[in-house]
Structure formats: structure tokens, C-alpha cells
Amino acid sequence: MKEVCGRALLVENLGKAEVVKVKGRISFLGEVNPKEGKLYDGRSIANRILIAKGPKGSTVGAYVIYALKYYSNAPLAIIFEEESDPIVVSGSVVAGITHGDKFGRIDVSDGELCEVIVDHGKLCLRC
């Protein structure tokens, strides 16, 4: 079992879910379809742990994150290897989605079952 921890920006939901890992950074505007809960490549992020290097994009991203929750397609958690930004943090707050950053390189694969936990004030991913 491997565990990697980072900064807990918002802790709302904890638990086990499959991982969806994006290579590189993610823009919620244009790369995420909130009505379907899918990425641009067709992978579902609904009720999964979304992992990416970090965010990229526009101020509309917060509304897309909220729309994911509105349409019942929100991920269990949004985890970034590098630093997040105020847009994704605000979207996570409004939608009530667990969000963490500064995890460093996360060596997991799509479909891997992992658990999101809090350990000593850190948000951790245990796989």
C-alpha cells in the first residue's frame, strides 16, 4: 500500500473511489462536461478521485465545478500534484468537493482504487 499526502484545502468527503488521472494540467472550461460528468476524452469523473498536475484556465472554471455538483456528477475529490489556484479552490468550496494540492508526483493509474483520508492535518491518498 502506498500513501502520499499534501495540503488539505477543503475537506468535505472522504472515502474510497477509482482514480481518474489527467496527464498535465486541467482546465475545467472546455475539458470537463458537467452535465455528463466526463472529461474531454470521455472518461467519467463522477464519484471518482480526479488527479492532475495542476489547474489551467479561466475564471469560469469555478462555475463548471459547481455545475458538476449541481448535475450530481462531482468527483469525490480533486487532487493536484502542484499548487492549486483561487478559481479551483472557490469552485470546490461552493460545490463542497474535497480539494488538496502540493502532493508531489502521484504514481497511480486510471481505475486504481484509492482512499482519501486526513492524517495529521494533511489530505492523503492511500492506494
DSSP per residue over the chain, as a string?
Answer: --EEEEEEEE----EEEEEEE-SSEE-HHHHEETTTTEETTS-B-TTSEEEESEE-S-TTHHHHHHHHHHTT---SEEEESS---HHHHHHHHHHT-EEEE--------TT-EEEEEEETTEEEEE-
Q: Which of 58, 90, 92, 109 is catalytic?
A: 58
End-to-end CA distance of the chain: 6
- Whether 54 and 84 have beta carbons less than 8 Å apart is answered as yes
- Give yes or no: 90 in active site: no
Cite the active site residues.
Answer: 58
